């Protein structure tokens, strides 16, 4: 008889807490992967998370590690301060695209350019989630949002920003990769990337960023299953999966 694998709640996951995320949202999956990585690496008591503004800010309700709240977009700056004072701690930020790629673009670029020994989990769902579905820097060409009801127009708003490709041009960052949560086989790869990003920090290898393509069914106006398919059909062609820079 083959061995049966039993999947249990990660010990890093806050007990007796129900998810507040919309059906089909990828944040819960991403949280789980972060928890499993922290558990497997045995770093729960040494980890400090940075939660900014937006749906991503709620991560501190679900993960049993030390956490700090950061102003909108400023999580990399706050993380830099904490890591500088306590280099023995594992410090990570968990940020959405409206946070990291908009008001926080300066902070993420300079943290990466300094090669800070940090781990960044970047959730890209191509829209502002919590505040009502406004256009984000990552909103696709032609994609509708509350601030561009006819679809994103390049002549007005420019092109969607490919954060991973942009940061990979800098000499200092060591690990930059893009994954997705759209299908189980991709979730497995996402877990491997997130765990590696934490492992890199433990080994003092510098700046690691994992961009996670995720869904926002509510603001996309789609059912959960349709949202995951839309991600594969529309987002992945513009935001190709893969590793853009690796320490190895």
Residue 19 forms part of a structural domain: no
Q: Which pLDDT score is estimated for 36?
A: 96
Residue 2 has pLDDT above 60, yes or no: no
* Cα–Cα distance list, 225 to 101, 219, 232 (Å): 26, 14, 11
Identify the band that residue 133 occupies on the pLDDT scale cut at 50, 70 and 90: confident
Phi (first) and psi of residue 126, to 5 degrees: 65, 25
Q: Which pLDDT score is estimated for 245?
A: 97
CA atoms 52, 53, 56, 60: torsion sign: positive
Q: What is the CATH number of the domain that holds 156?
A: 3.40.50.970
Residue 6 has pLDDT above 80, yes or no: no
Among residues of the chain, what percentage have pLDDT more than 70? 97
What is the model's pTM? 0.95
Walk across the sheet containing 208-213 and list its strands.
66-69, 47-51, 90-96, 119-124, 208-213, 175-180, 242-245
Look at the chain and report how many structural domains it folds into: 1
pLDDT tens digits for range 94-115: 999 999 999 999 999 999 999 9
Residue 116 forms part of a structural domain: yes
Residue 13 forms part of a structural domain: no
Residue 17 forms part of a structural domain: no
Q: Which pLDDT score is estimated for 5?
A: 62
Residue 20 forms part of a structural domain: no
Residue 232 forms part of a structural domain: yes
Give the residue numbers spanning the domain of 110: 27-245
């Amino acid at each position: 008889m083959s061995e049966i694998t039993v999947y249990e709640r990660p010990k890093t996951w806050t007990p007796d807490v129900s998810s507040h995320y919309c059906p089909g949202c990828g944040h819960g999956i991403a949280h789980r992967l972060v928890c499993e990585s922290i558990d497997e690496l045995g770093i729960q008591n040494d980890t400090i998370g940075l939660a900014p503004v937006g749906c991503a800010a709620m991560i501190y309700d679900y993960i049993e590690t030390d956490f700090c709240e950061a102003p909108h977009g400023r999580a990399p700056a706050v993380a830099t301060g904490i890591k500088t004072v306590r280099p023995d701690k594992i410090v990570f930020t968990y940020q959405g695209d409206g946070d990291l790629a908009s008001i926080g673009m300066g902070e993420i670029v300079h943290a990466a350019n300094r090669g800070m020994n940090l781990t960044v989990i970047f959730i890209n769902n191509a829209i502002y989630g919590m505040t009502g579905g406004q256009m984000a820097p990552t909103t696709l060409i032609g994609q509708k949002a509350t601030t561009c009801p006819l679809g994103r127009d390049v002549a007005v708003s420019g092109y969607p920003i490919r954060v991973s490709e942009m940061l990979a041009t800098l000499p200092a960052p060591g690990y930059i990769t893009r994954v997705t949560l759209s299908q189980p086989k991709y979730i497995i790869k996402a877990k491997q990337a997130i765990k590696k990003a934490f492992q890199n920090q433990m080994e003092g290898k510098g700046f690691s960023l994992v961009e996670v393509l995720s869904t926002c069914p509510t603001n996309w106006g789609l059912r959960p299953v349709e949202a995951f398919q839309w991600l594969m059909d529309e987002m992945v062609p513009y935001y190709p999966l893969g590793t853009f820079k690796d320490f190895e």
